[in-house]
Amino acid sequence: MLASDTSAATPPPAAPSRRRWLIWAPLLLLCLAAGGWLGLKYSSTGRQAALATGYIAQVTCSCRFVSGRDMASCDTDREPGTEIVQVEEDSANRTITAKVPLLSTRISRFDPEYGCTLDTP
């Protein structure tokens, strides 16, 4: 018996199935994305975003509904570095929503008796 005869008799090792990759690759990407988002949300950057959204919501609500100024005037009250915070006004419900996409959202509500109060996060 020759050495070439024995190698021809044994089949080559099977390659990874393409079907297996079609199942596991999206799951792996989803886990990586979720881990990255959780890492960012609970890092110092995420905590700063939560602090900034609460601050901007409260200041803008007080400016808009307590002082009676317009939104363009209230934008001048923002601290440097808070430009990433998006502000939305709901004048019918007298609320201000401040958010940093994917990280934090805070709502401040105006009550004529108590003024502006932040909703619990």
What is the amino acid identity at position 23? I
CA proximity to 111, closest of 57, 74, 65? 65
Asked, for residue 20, whether it belongs to a domain, the answer is no
Asked, for residue 83, whether it belongs to a domain, the answer is yes
User: How many angstroms separate the most distant Cα atoms in the chain?
Assistant: 99
Give the model's pLDDT for residue 42: 78
Domain of residue 84, residue span: 44-118
pTM of the model: 0.73
pLDDT per position as a tens digit, 54-82: 999 999 999 999 999 999 999 998 888 88
- How far is C-alpha 73 from the chain's CA centre? 28
DSSP-derived secondary structure letter, 2 = -
Q: How many domains does the chain have?
A: 1
Asked, for residue 57, whether it belongs to a domain, the answer is yes
Asked, for residue 13, whether it belongs to a domain, the answer is no
CA proximity to 106, closest of 68, 51, 62? 51
Count CA atoms within 13 Å of residue 40 on its CB side: 12
Give the model's pLDDT for residue 11: 63
Evaluate whether 88 touches 37 at the Cβ level (below 8 Å).
no
Please list the pLDDT of the chain residue by residue as tens digits (121 residues).
555 555 555 666 655 677 777 888 888 888 888 888 888 777 888 899 999 999 999 999 999 999 999 999 999 988 888 899 999 999 999 999 999 998 999 999 999 999 999 998 7
- Tokens describing residue 81: 């570095």
Asked, for residue 94, whether it belongs to a domain, the answer is yes
Asked, for residue 90, whether it belongs to a domain, the answer is yes
Asked, for residue 80, whether it belongs to a domain, the answer is yes
Residue 59 burial by Cβ neighbours in a 10 Å radius (0-12, 13-18, 19+): buried
